[in-house]
Structure 1
Amino acid sequence: MLSLGYWKEKEVEINEKKYSIDLSFDNVIRVFDLMKDEAFEEEERIYLAMKMFLDCDVLEKDEECNFEMLIEGFNYIKEEFLVADKEETGPVDLQGNPMPVAKSKELYSLTHDADYIYASFLQAYGMDLIDVQGELEWDKFNALLNGLPSNTKFKEVIEIRQRPFAKGKGSQEENKNLRELKEVYKLPGHSVEEGG
């Protein structure tokens, strides 16, 4: 999360050595895509993600480093730099372990909605996201994404996905139009449900 009052060094310590982290928004998006890629085992995904974040192979540079250290470094990066708000954690059991919670409906995809995000940044901020790849950091990108005005294409698409179907008499035509819009803008793997 972006902090205006406190500077946080974008580094991770692995085996008592500090490494700079590449938290440019495009690199973070590639890591997110990698973490969903089932062509790799979980260990491979973490290893590759750390190579992307650190722009090096820590295991090759440091012969005393082991995979557990990489996992610890990965979890640190995830918790410190990628989780939106650590204070908004879900319920925990008596031992402090997270309890299962109902999955919230996904409203957007950084990959699937890339065109809408790109156009909206250009419209709202005059910022060409392609030109700032490798420069604009994830926390700044996220703050700008969340602050997009409602008249941008990205926010319009989100509003359509969230808009409930009307109830009562005379709402059939309105619901037909909304269903068509929801069908056009639905995320892959999602369905257009009556009532949400």
Structure 2
Amino acid sequence: MNILIDLVPTTVNIDHKQYEINSDFRNAILFELLMQEDEIAELDKTMQALELFYPVCPKNINEAVEKMLWFYIGGKDDKNITSKKSGSVNNINRIYSFDFDDDYIYSAFLDQYGIDLQDIEYLHWWKFKAMFKSLKEDNEIVKIMGYRATDLSKIKDKEQREFYKKMKQIYELPKSRNEVEKISDIEEALLKSGNLSDIL
């Protein structure tokens, strides 16, 4: 999918039938927060995620999960999101949190785009993602993400290294699982259950 030439989807094709998918950015944010919950069993997370995205859940649960994940990552092949089955799970450092950075993100959208995320009735997840990726450097959230992403071992200057070390500590996020693990957990839950449609 190419956001410049293709219309952003509000349905997905499963078994030659179009199913509506809840495409508002809030659902995708809730999904991401759900995947970070350590106290919810993986199978329960999968079921809750399906309820978040599908007003009417498809009978083919395995494909429904696959299309849900496709939608969540923006309809592109993401080389960083790989299955545990392949044994190739990359470590992705989290540099933002929709939970802990909500006020910074809200303010950035209001400042740069004039979009009040509280008042807007609907904003497609893919459009939200595109705008989030393109926030300018003078937004506080972008500065904070820069601090979190900084590799201290590559900074030669001692004073500069101390500054970034301090900033990383100030803005450190609570430890949580990374994007790869969140996606892989759903895949693993599917594998363990065989076919989820049998238990619905």
Tell me the SS of whatever aligns to 1:112: coil
**Alpha-carbon deviation of 1:16?**
5.8
Larger of the two Rg values belongs to structure: 1
Amino acid at match of 1:160: Y
Which runs of 4 or more aligned residues in structure 1 lie more than 4 Å from their structure 2 counterparts after TM superposition?
A: 13-17
Check conservation: 2:80, 2:90, Cα contact below 8 A: no
Counterpart for residue 82 of structure 1: 72
Residue 108 (structure 2) aligns with: 120
Whether contact under 8 Å (1:10, 1:20) holds in the other structure is yes
Which residue matches 2:63?
Answer: 72
For residue 88 of structure 1, report the CA deviation from its aligned partner. Answer: 4.2
The SS at the match of 1:159 is helix
Q: 1:161 Cα shift?
A: 1.6
Q: Does 1:167 align with 2:156?
A: yes
Asked if 1:104 corresponds to 2:92, the answer is: yes
| Distance change >3 Å, CA 184–CA 40, structure 1 → 2 | same
> Which whole-Å CA distance do the structure 2 matches of 1:3 and 1:91 have between them?
20
Aligned residues: 172
Report the AA paired with residue 112 of structure 1.
F
Would the aligned equivalents of 2:93 and 2:149 in 1 still touch at CA under 8 Å? no
Q: What corresponds to 1:193 in structure 2? A: none
Which of 144, 152, 157 matches 1:157? 144
Scaled by the length of structure 1, what TM-score is found? 0.74
Range 156-165 or range 15-24, more displaced:
15-24
With a CA cutoff of 8 Å and minimum separation of 6, indicate the structure with the bigger relative contact order. 2
Report how far residue 21 of structure 1 moved. Answer: 0.7
Contact kept in structure 1, 2:22 and 2:55, CA below 8 Å: yes
Residues 140 and 37 of structure 1: CA distance in aligned 2, closer, same or farther (over 3 Å):
same
Query: In 2, Cα distance between the equivalents of 1:135 and 1:91?
Result: 27
CA distance in 1: counterparts of 2:144 and 2:106, whole angstroms: 13
Structure 2 unaligned blocks of 5 or more? 177-200
Q: Which SS does the other structure have where 2:86 is aligned?
A: coil
RMSD: 2.7
Q: Could you say if the C-alpha distance between residues 181 and 9 of structure 1 is closer, same or farther in structure 2, counting changes exceeding 3 Å?
A: closer
Cα deviations across residues 93-143 of structure 1 (Å, max 9, x unaligned)?
xxxx634143122221222211111111111111111112x5011000000
State how far apart, in whole Å, the 2-side matches of 1:178 and 1:91 are.
28
TM-score calculated relative to the size of structure 2: 0.73
Q: Deviations over 1:169-188 (max 9, x none)?
A: xx2x4333332221111111
